[in-house]
Amino acid sequence: MTFTLLPAVDVVNGRAVRLDQGEAGTERDYGDPLEAARRWRDEGAQWLHFVDLDAAFGRGSNHELMAEITRTIGIDVELTGGIRDTASLERALGTGARRVNIGTAALREPEWTADMIRRHGDAIAVDIAVREEDGQWRTKGDGWTSDGGDVWEVLEFFDAAGCARFVVTDVSRDGTLTGPNVDLLRGISAATDAFVTASGGIAQLDDVSQLSQYEGEGIDSAIIGTALYEGRFTLREALRAVERSEKNL
């Protein structure tokens, strides 16, 4: 099995939460982030997606918790949230994280981000949150509140810079349990040589199975959050669904 599932641990004030469409103030509390991380690991996760939402919104940091989970969990960790400059990036990489995602800074400081990609290779992913506005897909930064430009132009720039992976979120789907935007994900995957991680909207096992069918197109992984926390299915069930889907390819 090569299609990867990354259970999400989004953290606010040291608590695991989920947001509705990424909006601050819509947090639903799901308890201790370390307990959640251990649960996903024990159910078979090979990767964990950790989001420091306080850092992303510019109102604090959960770095010590992030470092503890990364150090002790025993599986690969992808970190994101508040990576704004070389110092914060090096601090995140210093936790032992396998990968760090750059979001807002990639939109504001594309040349710096391209330099970090050249330095660190596939340890850097570009995190692209998008929202459709007036028929156009626009990138979003600053906790998904500011406009970062046309998504296709952003993709073209970072594809040329050698970005190995884009983490793509349709903001309108995130935390809503309305299903992933498969058409958008496939369109983005077709426009880049990089791998694509799907994020946002997964609600049922069929969504997981469907996404895994496009691994050959470059969509090789998916982040799952709310569906797991709400008990729509377990991570074990999702991993089995991927395995069955891949056997049928």
- How many CA atoms are closer than 13 Å to the CA of 2, on its beta-carbon side? 9
The pLDDT tens digits of the residues spanning 161-171 come to: 999 999 999 98
Averaged over successive runs of 10 residues, the pLDDT of the chain (249 residues) comes to 90 83 69 94 97 88 94 96 95 96 96 98 96 91 83 97 96 83 96 96 95 96 94 96 86
Active-site annotation holds for 10: yes
- What is the pLDDT at residue 195? 98
Least Cα distance to 226 among 179, 172, 177 occurs for 177
- What is the pLDDT at residue 138? 93
The pLDDT tens digits of the residues spanning 28-54 come to: 888 899 999 999 999 999 999 999 988
Domains detected in the chain: 4-247 (3.20.20.70)
- What is the pLDDT at residue 173? 83
- What is the pLDDT at residue 8? 94
User: From the candidates 10, 127, 170, 174, which is the catalytic residue?
Assistant: 10
